[in-house]
Chains A and B, each alone.
Chain A
């Protein structure tokens, strides 16, 4: 079945780095764009980054620009998030999500499905 499995979370100190991975299975990985979405403890959902199906375009939320890098390896069916210069406010569960969509009447609609189970990143002094 379609599945996304994140790994790589943990407890780190401010200023350090961490790399998250997301292993995909059950579908053609190279056909879809992917996102990272995070959720701080007890808070709502925040989009972090996007990468196109072929890796040609990437976008980031303002607060992580210059610190985080999204990438993918289509030969390994894996999505990555390299997080550098981590801050306390980066503490969250990080979800890997697949971009789904369809086009109708000249508009292309997108939504997130499925979501991985999430991996917790805790940045603490």
Chain B
């Protein structure tokens, strides 16, 4: 199985900050990488698919980059509603696997 490792596991930031979360795959997955946001008590929702494509309706402050084994999710200017947990997911091969999550907290 492909292992997905996110860093950091948790992050404290303030409204207006620019933050980046990284995700590393244990083998090359081309651009088969998705990012999800999950708020407490809610189901995850997709933000970015195929490494860099913004899902319809997701604010443009979110962006994704990378290919191969190294990927990043960037939020250009944090808003209060962005404090949540973020997961990367590889869809290169079955079983699909997720990173362990990055908890973004308000400083």
Contact = CB atoms under 8 A, between A and B. Distances in A.
Interface residues of B, number: 23
Contacts of A44: 87, 98-101
Contact of A46 (B43, B91, B98): B98
Contact of B43 (A102, A110, A117): A117
A61 interface: yes
Given A44-B87, A112-B34, A118 B97 contact: no
Interface stretch (B20-28, B44-52, B70-78): B44-52
A67 B101 CA distance: 28
A111 B45 contact: no
Contacts of B36: 45, 112
Interface residues of A, number: 24
B10 interface: no
A109 B96 contact: no
Contacts of B45: 113-115
A44 B3 CA distance: 13
Given A50-B94, A112-B44, 7 more contacts: A45-B44, A107-B32, A109-B32, A110-B32, A111-B50, A114-B45, A115-B43
23 contacts: A44-B99, A44-B101, A45-B44, A45-B101, A47-B96, A59-B95, A61-B95, A62-B95, A95-B43, A95-B44, A107-B30, A107-B32, A109-B50, A109-B91, A110-B91, A111-B49, A111-B91, A112-B46, A113-B46, A114-B43, A115-B45, A116-B43, A117-B43
Interface of A: 35, 44-47, 50, 59, 61-62, 95, 100, 102, 104, 107, 109-118
